Amino acid sequence: GQQVMQIPQYQHVQEGEDFTTYCNSSTTLSNIQWYKQRPGGHPVFLIQLVKSGEVKKQKRLTFQFGEAKKNSSLHITATQTTDVGTYFCAGVNNNDMRFGAGTRLTVKP
């Protein structure tokens, strides 16, 4: 079955620094979704990428989908304390959706 690897597992940054998390799939994906889960909270949908090479921006967040549709990244510019949480990618293929292990982001003020 498909596997979705996500790195790094943890990232601790100083407020104002940038942050990136990466997802890689063992198989070609039809689409990929990104979710954020605050500490003690539940996953909240951020975005879905469908097209090869797609890039989408949401304010300080930039999402990319690789040309081969096997990898994706989330980049946050100038992190803020409100960015704290775990970011999960979820790769979708053949009616199967698999979450990556998540990247836990902590931000030091």
For another protein, the binding residues (CB under 8 A) are 30-31, 33, 41-45, 48, 88, 90-92, 94-97, 99-102, 104
Q: How far is the CB of 102 from another protein (least distance, A)?
A: 5
Q: Which is nearer to another protein, 77 or 104 (CB)?
A: 104
Q: How far is the CB of 96 from another protein (least distance, A)?
A: 7
Q: How far is the CB of 10 from another protein (least distance, A)?
A: 10
Q: Which of 65, 66, 85 is nearest to 19 (CA)?
A: 85
Q: Which is nearer to another protein, 60 or 98 (CB)?
A: 98
